[in-house]
Amino acid sequence: MPLTITPTPRGLEGVVAAQTRLSHVDGIAGELIIGGYELKELAGRVSFEEAAHLLWRGALPGTDELRELRREITPLRALPEDTMRVVRAAAKAPPIDALRMACATLSLDLPDPDDIAPSADIEAAKMLTARFPTLVAAHARISEGKELIAPRADLSHAANFLYMVHGKEPNPIAARALDTYWVTVIDHGMNASTFAGRVIASTRSDMVSAVTGSIGALKGPLHGGAPGPVLDMLVDIGSADRAEAWVRNELKAGRRIMGFGHRVYKVRDPRADVLSKVADEMSAVHLEDRKLFDMARAAEQTILKVLDEVKPGRNLRTNVEFYTALVLQALGLKPRSFVAVFACGRVAGWCAHVIEQHTEDHLIRPQSEYIGQRGLGLER
């Protein structure tokens, strides 16, 4: 009997592709669960390293376990010279491209890059998580013609990144804001980049190869490319009193309003709630551009009002991209680097999915439905 293939929705939307203990997205309830905890229970309350341990090991670390994890990760921040050659060669490339190219070289620094045993995967995860911020910071410095700044072992994961970018020790509130941001974006269900990494890992390919593939998927503007355009939108609006006319013109022209609406969430993005609070905390003591920040918060309410009026029932609420733009610009980071900075948080989640997929050890091999012609003959 021939195999019967049931056509699936375009883009596999609604199709369950894997079982996972790592994260769950409920778009109707507006809920994001990370390793058994609602996001609001983690973000701002645990460090990025603790959240990474939760995903890699299945539980939050104790005091001694956290101290040991930090002791192991900190020395891994420095980049091999082979990797630095790639970063220098990619000086004019977008940061996410430089990260993708440089990431692929990191397997050269592993004793056995093809080892996919759980212990080897954990070690590779620590290395990738430690080095992603160094890669992004090094590329930022090189692309601006500045001297490189070596990582410091006495600074936290987030504080060290800001130090390597700006050349000065950051305000503790700024470092805490970035740490909270990275916890907020550490994992988010079976998104495109995570799925890409799991497909690669399912072939028994190695951790670095899978994560490199995930970066390639993240680069696409339909997945990770919107925080930068949010800032472009805010600059174009210019002032809060121009927001209503601006958004009506954009909607009339059929263009998307950046930072609003989400493919999954039909209510407010829970990550937006977390980052909104981060932005408020930063506004009291640390802002690179106070005028832009105040205008954005005022324009947000106007945009939501117009969206409800023009697109009733669509529930186009503020999403994580809007607040990502506000938080990262407040930290003095350049819009072109936003997607790569996002990857510095998501890498821990990608690694966790690779670990999980390797443990499952089952090839992901879906079917396709052929819709082309049949019976064509060659004319000689």
Tell me, letter by letter, the H, E, C secondary structure of the chain. Answer: CCCCCCCCCHHHCCCCCCCCCCEEEECCCCEEEECCEEHHHHECCECHHHHHHHHHHCCCCCHHHHHHHHHHHHHHHCCCHHHHHHHHHCCCCCHHHHHHHHHHHHHHHCCCCCCCCHHHHHHHHHHHHHHHHHHHHHHHHHHCCCCCCCCCCCCCHHHHHHHHHHCCCCCHHHHHHHHHHHHHCCCCCCCHHHHHHHHHHHCCCCHHHHHHHHHHHHHCCCCCCCHHHHHHHHHHHCCHHHHHHHHHHHHHCCCCCCCECCCCCCCCCHHHHHHHHHHHHHHCCCCCCHHHHHHHHHHHHHHHHHHHHHCCCCCCCECHHHHHHHHHHHCCCCHHHHHHHHHHHHHHHHHHHHHHHHHHCCCCCCCCCCCCCCCCCCCC
Query: Per-residue pLDDT for the chain (380 aa), expressed as one digit of tens each?
Result: 455 556 667 767 767 778 899 999 988 888 999 999 999 999 999 999 999 999 999 999 999 999 999 999 999 999 999 999 999 999 999 999 999 999 999 999 899 999 999 999 999 999 999 999 999 999 999 999 999 999 999 999 999 999 999 999 999 999 999 999 999 999 999 999 999 999 999 999 999 999 999 999 999 987 876 677 888 898 899 888 999 999 999 999 999 898 888 777 777 788 988 998 888 888 766 556 677 778 888 889 999 999 999 999 888 888 888 888 889 988 999 989 999 999 999 999 999 999 999 999 999 998 888 889 999 988 87
Q: State the catalytic residues.
A: 262, 321
